[in-house]
Amino acid sequence: MSPAIAITNDSGNENEKEERQYQRGVKHLCENGVSKVPDKYILPVLDRPTTNHEEDNLFNKDNLMLPVIDFAELQGSNRPQVLKSMANACEQHGFFQLVNHGIPSDVISSMMEVSRRFFELPFEERANYMSSDLNSPVRYGTSFNQNNDKVFCWRDFLKLMCHPPSDVLPHWPSSPPDFRELAASYAKETKFLFEIVMVAIIESLLGEVGTTTTKKKKTKEEEELLEKFQNGSQLMVVNCYPPCPQPDLTLGMPPHSDYGFLTLLLQDQVEGLQIKFQDKWVTVQPIPNSFVVNVGDHLEIFSNGKYKSVLHRVLVNSMKARISVASLHSLSFQCMIGPSPKLIDESNPRRYRDTDFKSFLEYITSREPKSKSFLESMKLTYEN
């Protein structure tokens, strides 16, 4: 295991003590009876969730029902129409909700329940997994990137690398006692689902959508890419957003995009996820037992900008804790990712540089991430 963040020494001046307290996370703050948001978590006025007269849509208003993709229909006679809907969702929203996905409900409910139990463990047990090493197979932390964030956000997380299972599982939390078993089962199911959804994404992007129920033959490029996905990376992030005494002053997560190809998000029924849609922040209305699927930076790069990686953020509230599990999928950390040659021609030139996960890690460790700054750094510019 990577060296844990030092948390036990309370010597030093008051500022140092206060900083160490924040490094322990917001769950620890709440457990010790916080009645107002500490200064460390208060965003600048222009970054707060109620800026620009957004008070009316902060909670339970201006909800957005994302495009719904029925996974069962994707496997049936309506596949061509579903592929068109999927392509439109990836172009216009960068998000869709996936229903009838086939993952057993007990696998989903068990993952949510054991995640809650992990965050209910005594702080000393959770702290065993605190690490500043971004390459650690398991990492418990807080905020977005506590090493760089000038202002912390109202979130604690448990990040789990999932591939290859035999290498990483021994490092995963052994408490609760059934955590490894339940989380591994969930990770396996979501990896398989991702691969099937990615087949459809690539078909909608690179191939002509057919008019029959027969799936078209894959091109060599598609075959090679799908093989890489089978051995690709999977990072699972379990998020805990405790009740916040002043939710208008902070965020659970700041505006950002996801680095990979696709993210499959499982969330409870407490609203919180917002996406930037038509220059406005709108709240995603949860659908029970569904996944919110969003385009990541790598898919935007691969699509040469056709499919959009969209800014999203997380609100917190004063009444209820919120739990979500994000499963982020891409190629292996060593694989280079660039625009598909099939999507490049004289009228649509290459718009992005090649990149890999190593480049992403170097970027986020060297600065405080802002919005889609990493993706913007990969864009090529052309003279008029």
Which CATH class name applies to 24-331? mainly beta
By CB neighbour count within 10 A (0-12 exposed, 13-18 middle, 19+ buried), where does 4 fall?
middle
pLDDT tens for 65-90 read 899 999 999 989 999 999 999 999 99
Q: What's the pLDDT at 368?
A: 58
List the 138-142 sheet strands across, edge first: 68-70, 95-99, 291-295, 262-267, 322-330, 233-241, 156-161, 138-142
Are 251 and 311 a contacting pair, CB within 8 Å? Answer: no
Cα–Cα distance, 139 to 160 (Å, whole number): 7
Q: What's the pLDDT at 213?
A: 42
Q: Which of 252, 232, 258, 237 is nearest to 374 (CA)?
A: 258
Q: What's the average model confidence in pLDDT over 12-22?
A: 67
Among residues of the chain, what percentage have pLDDT more than 70? 86
The residue with greater pLDDT, 338 or 210, is 338
Dihedral of the CA atoms 42, 44, 48, 52 (nearest 10)?
Answer: 160
pLDDT tens for 114-171 read 999 999 999 999 999 998 787 899 999 998 877 778 899 999 999 999 999 999 999 9
If one counts every other C-beta atom within 10 angstroms of the C-beta of residue 266, the result is 23
Q: What's the pLDDT at 215?
A: 53
Are 66 and 283 a contacting pair, CB within 8 Å? Answer: no
Report the chain's mean pLDDT, rounded to a whole number: 87
Confidence of residue 374 (pLDDT cuts 50, 70, 90): confident
pLDDT tens for 219-274 read 776 778 888 898 899 999 999 999 999 999 999 999 999 989 999 999 999 999 99
Are 64 and 282 a contacting pair, CB within 8 Å? Answer: yes
- Residue identified by tokens 């500022």 is 15
Hey, what amino acid is at 36?
K
Name every residue whose Cβ is closer than 8 Å to that of residue 193 and which is 6 or more positions away in sequence. Answer: 71, 101, 102, 103, 264, 291
Cα–Cα distance, 168 to 361 (Å, whole number): 19
